[in-house]
Structure 1
């Protein structure tokens, strides 16, 4: 039976609905969620799978890894029992049967209780750190424990290792003699590990049915590809906050600590910040909506507390809090829009002084940091990345900068349309990216606006975590010879496009009480550079490669299970921006000379090799002298790195006038400027810009000339 047919049957065969406890299954709701998700995947996914027993085994393997990733809870016999249902995992979901999930969740709860029965006893006595023994830290190298005794021994070593790490940290923070073992610190370290373990197990026990269901369903949908995901309602809300940089609430960052919801920070400019009553370190005891009775949140999970505290703009929430001095106080806050300024693009004008050692003259450049390609799909007139970049470029033009650095490091993507619109700010018009759907239908997304916001030299910075829309933009600017791309040996390698589907839209109105069901993000397309090459798996290779701490490790798309393969399609027809070829070899040679002379970049290369060795080494010593010797080496390396990352005295960084707005913006921009003054990568990007400027003067390049079009339609 196809999922589509199954969906129709299930939506018209539901029994009467009853309210469900958050820890208990809601069979009707889960049946509908599974049915809708299956139907959507069959109909919309770029590369649909045959949902057979082989698929089920792949899904089960993912689920097992996520159920107990460190192999600290489940026994080998538990895994054997669960594996008996592996072949029918997907078939059971089609039938609305979640027996495997129910058994696995119950099994995990049982094993957590087993661990609770002995971890305190283990931590009640001092560890012998003079013994020569090791702990395995790579779960892939471990088998599941054969029995409770083996499980206890695994926990003993794990807790001993955690205590050793905490001990080393305490010795350093209290500046004590490293050559002597301090028994009082060992006791203090065990107490801290005990508290952390209590918190961790408490969080595991508090996982509600929605958490368990989400993990189960995502193990299934991730077999299609790692970016197809099910989002429960709160997770989708958090995703929207990330892509828009806004939410409606009180503006307090919270964490769960010792059974209490504690305020960590107040967002500048928010309703809480304006009210000046709620403060960091306050413990939230109760939450009331307007005039309603308060709900006790002591012992609640952070997710449950957030659901109560967030709410629509203009509504009132009353928080009963305990102040650090013990006072109990009720604070009323009218919710408002909270702006997360760190989401948005930031610009700065950087003046570089003349450097005698390199012969570089002083120049003025513009710098843009774009954390993500943000937009708000639900509101017209909302803030967009392309609008902010256009504004910043206008300010650069007014300031008379001679080149621009666009920083896409750690930018994981966002809106595809925003990537297209931002690309259009740097060219007259032309194709930006090609997309291909499951029907092999090719679409070329183009910039049709012939206006250009910036015509001068351009450097784009990337690293191993520049992904998706960042790769679209950097690849297009590289293909057009519009910019020099600078950074890690390759970017992340995500060459797929996702679309969100609200599952409530597919719910029959007769069963609206089941809502909200959550959302499904499905990979519906792959994208390709204008030259037809895919960034999937391989990423974007910069023109000028800089040392990167992750270069020796397997990161990015190629490290993810079930990632879609790389392929190519025909090139689109496009015209390169400049009437010349950028002399990359000249820029590379000059950069390599500078980088090779800087201790910072040499240390980055050393650190990359250390990280690779650490990743390959599957065990750690539990002897304190061995651990202290290793720590000394790491501390020495960290000291060298700190000395090599001092403030750059030859640059002057000024924030843009438009950033002198809200208090929230001012606070964020101040930290942003401080960071730029110590960023060796930005310094090298500026030097490359300087080289480009010098070469353009030397060769007399024109910035408005086009060459023969490339590619075919």
Structure 2
């Protein structure tokens, strides 16, 4: 979601900053080469240039003046920048030694001064040593592979620490050698257990390391600058980012949807590229072959050879995945549903296409339920995104598409069909137009504020529904999950604060900040300049919207969501603008929850989701793996047996034939997410309908008992 306040000042600000910066540059050239003559390496060509120095000073000034929090650039910030930079370069603590860190630590509290003075050399010097260390590690790994993968002894008892986030730094290069011996041995064993023979393993790993080694030689000064400045920018919050000229162009392409892709939001995850979320109605989402938290390890164009992308930069992987409309891209993916050490992958083929607005449009269906001896008919409106056809609106087209217009039409049709209530399905809705979130809220409330936007100066802008009267006044529930974000959270929060709907499902994403893009002399800066608040004064940031009745999470909330991002801004609150009214749901919530728990305690889909997540979380706490093949296979078989038991318990409860072994069905939709079936088959949707009917029944019973008697 992009929100531009009335007082946007990019061009004037840019001009005023650059005037003073030009003079500074020439005084900094002398300090831009701290490497001494005796320490020249093959990476000495990586030096900051004039444009980068000016851009860095621009970024310092923009963050100082316009970031939402306006935190000081001081020693405390310097320490955060230092830690963030080291984390970016060596997240698994596998390249630098304790001696390297000791040298770096001497400058821990100096990066604020370096940045204020436009001195980029210290950041470049650390990056150059990182490249030197990485080159050494890759050469060492290739040396091991030259001996042949069969020289590894998988009968001895050894373990590899795989969760190295808090591991001690290797004391010297010899200790790093031992760590990398185990890393290569682990990769060989993973591939061996996945069914590859020695020749294929040798070829794949040799090619992978050689490719990574050759890519080091392609490192540009811009790569160093972008990483270093982002360590600085993202110490403020995860959505504040420097975009290099190339990435700025990619960002503009993404916003305009002028280049086709697969419709997936990706991020770096150590040496892998991880799927964060799928764009509603995009090619990946429609394929049902990819899910959030899946890891992409290979990319191929149509029938061409698969390119191993482990260890590649995110922007390079994105370029491979993008392509012209109608072309096919094949992705090799390790599913998130795999056990942590299960590297078994699948190859999926996706046809690239632009996401069409009409495919993201709201849709309606009828949920037929029998409840307490009666047949009920509930309307369901699925909203994949908050959309608005700005082009058609500006051209004066009276039939322009928008979420609110489409939902209003669907509500009219549902009321004509005499539904007993309505469920708004916002699952996986990542947001969109702020205007539409406000206008959609207006369909369900009488009148009043819908969301507050607080800027860095403390000014609060109130967005409101100015139209008197609600369009739909009937019973309403809103279904959300962890991937409901931004505009979805604004709408769900307003429905909860106005006591207009029961909010059901999972805790939402927690994206409650506003960004704008500021052009620089070199690239762009995307910075956080405001925060969203509900009419109750509560922020949607970090915490998201907490449902009135919660369902089992389908993804690990510690891995997906705003709270999982480093340096995420905290939840807070400001003065409410909507006076608290009597909540019609409060007297019944305890009973509604009790009935829900009774109903879903043995519901196959709910049981399966709970148990699958519990198993995944249990396995995620395992920090080491055995390098003994017998033990590793036994562990893998135990995990697969438990996964098979969960799957078969679900199948048997639904009257389906149990599986003899765990199948990896590339095209199977996750349980409870196949929207192509009947609405009644969607366990979460059906349960939402039953909760709404429970409330209707309880409310009617109270109304009858409160009527005066003759």
TM-score under structure 1 length normalisation:
0.71
Structure 1 residue 523, shift from structure 2 partner: 2.0
Q: Report the counterpart of residue 211 of structure 1 in structure 2.
A: 223
| Matching of residue 9 in structure 1 with residue 25 in structure 2 | no
Q: Report the counterpart of residue 521 of structure 1 in structure 2.
A: 526
Q: Report the counterpart of residue 60 of structure 2 in structure 1.
A: 38
Structure 1 residue 60, shift from structure 2 partner: 1.0
Mapped to 2, the partners of 1:249 and 1:26 lie a distance apart of 34
Q: Relative to 1, partners in 2 of residues 1:6 and 1:354: Cα closer, same or farther, differing over 3 Å?
A: closer
Structure 1 residue 81, shift from structure 2 partner: 3.1
Is this contact kept in 1: 2:378–2:422, CA < 8 A? Answer: no
Q: Which moved more, 1:130-139 or 1:186-195?
A: 186-195
Structure 1 residue 695, shift from structure 2 partner: 4.3
Q: Report the counterpart of residue 664 of structure 1 in structure 2.
A: none
Q: 1:50 aligns with which of 57, 72, 82?
A: 72
Q: Report the counterpart of residue 149 of structure 2 in structure 1.
A: 125
Q: Relative to 1, partners in 2 of residues 1:375 and 1:588: Cα closer, same or farther, differing over 3 Å?
A: same
Q: 1:91 aligns with which of 104, 113, 132?
A: 113
Q: 1:459 aligns with which of 465, 477, 489?
A: 477
Mapped to 2, the partners of 1:448 and 1:303 lie a distance apart of 43
Q: How does 1:524-543 map to 2 (within 5 A)?
A: 524-543=529-548
Which SS does the other structure have where 1:117 is aligned?
Answer: helix
Mapped to 1, the partners of 2:678 and 2:162 lie a distance apart of 34
Q: Which moved more, 1:189-198 or 1:62-71?
A: 189-198
Structure 1 residue 9, shift from structure 2 partner: 0.8
Q: Report the counterpart of residue 508 of structure 2 in structure 1.
A: 491
Q: Relative to 1, partners in 2 of residues 1:187 and 1:390: Cα closer, same or farther, differing over 3 Å?
A: farther
Q: 1:602 aligns with which of 607, 629, 653?
A: 607
Q: Relative to 1, partners in 2 of residues 1:450 and 1:604: Cα closer, same or farther, differing over 3 Å?
A: same
Q: How does 1:417-436 map to 2 (within 5 A)?
A: 417-436=435-454
Q: Relative to 1, partners in 2 of residues 1:306 and 1:536: Cα closer, same or farther, differing over 3 Å?
A: closer
Q: 2:236 aligns with which of 224, 238, 258?
A: 224
What whole-Å deviation, never above 9, does each CA across 1:576-629 have from its counterpart, x for those lacking one?
698775722232122111110123323433333333333333212222232223
| Matching of residue 503 in structure 1 with residue 519 in structure 2 | yes
Mapped to 2, the partners of 1:32 and 1:306 lie a distance apart of 33
Is this contact kept in 1: 2:381–2:407, CA < 8 A? Answer: no
Mapped to 1, the partners of 2:607 and 2:654 lie a distance apart of 20
Q: Relative to 1, partners in 2 of residues 1:160 and 1:458: Cα closer, same or farther, differing over 3 Å?
A: farther
Q: Relative to 1, partners in 2 of residues 1:137 and 1:679: Cα closer, same or farther, differing over 3 Å?
A: farther
- Count of residues in correspondence between the two structures: 589
What whole-Å deviation, never above 9, does each CA across 1:457-476 have from its counterpart, x for those lacking one?
32222233433333222111
Q: Relative to 1, partners in 2 of residues 1:491 and 1:90: Cα closer, same or farther, differing over 3 Å?
A: same
Q: Relative to 1, partners in 2 of residues 1:537 and 1:6: Cα closer, same or farther, differing over 3 Å?
A: same
Structure 1 residue 386, shift from structure 2 partner: 4.0
Mapped to 2, the partners of 1:441 and 1:208 lie a distance apart of 42
Q: Report the counterpart of residue 159 of structure 1 in structure 2.
A: 184
Q: Report the counterpart of residue 681 of structure 1 in structure 2.
A: 684
Mapped to 1, the partners of 2:504 and 2:237 lie a distance apart of 29
Which SS does the other structure have where 1:474 is aligned?
Answer: helix
Mapped to 1, the partners of 2:601 and 2:139 lie a distance apart of 56
Structure 1 residue 530, shift from structure 2 partner: 1.4
Which SS does the other structure have where 1:139 is aligned?
Answer: coil
What whole-Å deviation, never above 9, does each CA across 1:280-328 have from its counterpart, x for those lacking one?
225899xxxxxxxxxxxxxx95566789x77xx9xxxxx9x9xxxxxxx
Is this contact kept in 2: 1:647–1:677, CA < 8 A? Answer: no
Q: Any stretches of 5+ residues in structure 1 without a counterpart? A: 16-22, 171-183, 256-266, 269-277, 286-299, 314-318, 322-335, 508-516, 651-669, 702-713
Q: 1:247 aligns with which of 238, 258, 266?
A: 258
Mapped to 2, the partners of 1:55 and 1:249 lie a distance apart of 39
Q: How does 1:142-291 map to 2 (within 5 A)?
A: 142-170=167-195, 185=197, 188-199=200-211, 206-239=218-251, 246-248=257-259, 280-282=302-304
Is this contact kept in 1: 2:47–2:121, CA < 8 A? Answer: no
Q: Which moved more, 1:205-214 or 1:539-548?
A: 205-214
Mapped to 2, the partners of 1:34 and 1:571 lie a distance apart of 39
Q: Which moved more, 1:235-244 or 1:557-566?
A: 235-244
Is this contact kept in 1: 2:608–2:647, CA < 8 A? Answer: no
Which SS does the other structure have where 1:339 is aligned?
Answer: coil
Is this contact kept in 2: 1:552–1:612, CA < 8 A? Answer: no
What whole-Å deviation, never above 9, does each CA across 1:428-479 have from its counterpart, x for those lacking one?
3211122322333233221113364543332222233433333222111111
Structure 1 residue 481, shift from structure 2 partner: 1.4
Is this contact kept in 1: 2:431–2:488, CA < 8 A? Answer: yes
Q: Report the counterpart of residue 512 of structure 1 in structure 2.
A: none
Q: How does 1:558-573 map to 2 (within 5 A)?
A: 558-573=563-578
Q: Report the counterpart of residue 368 of structure 1 in structure 2.
A: 382
Mapped to 2, the partners of 1:235 and 1:647 lie a distance apart of 50
Which SS does the other structure have where 1:673 is aligned?
Answer: coil
Is this contact kept in 2: 1:479–1:530, CA < 8 A? Answer: yes
Is this contact kept in 2: 1:544–1:588, CA < 8 A? Answer: yes
Is this contact kept in 1: 2:376–2:420, CA < 8 A? Answer: no
Q: Report the counterpart of residue 291 of structure 1 in structure 2.
A: none
Q: Any stretches of 5+ residues in structure 2 without a counterpart? A: 1-12, 27-44, 267-281, 284-299, 308-314, 330-351, 395-399, 656-672, 705-710
Which SS does the other structure have where 2:258 is aligned?
Answer: strand
Structure 1 residue 102, shift from structure 2 partner: 2.0
Give me the CA root mean square deviation: 4.3
Is this contact kept in 1: 2:534–2:540, CA < 8 A? Answer: yes
Is this contact kept in 2: 1:600–1:644, CA < 8 A? Answer: no
Structure 1 residue 39, shift from structure 2 partner: 1.8
Q: 2:368 aligns with which of 352, 362, 375?
A: 352
Is this contact kept in 1: 2:388–2:433, CA < 8 A? Answer: yes
Structure 1 residue 392, shift from structure 2 partner: 4.4
Which SS does the other structure have where 2:380 is aligned?
Answer: strand
Mapped to 1, the partners of 2:187 and 2:607 lie a distance apart of 31
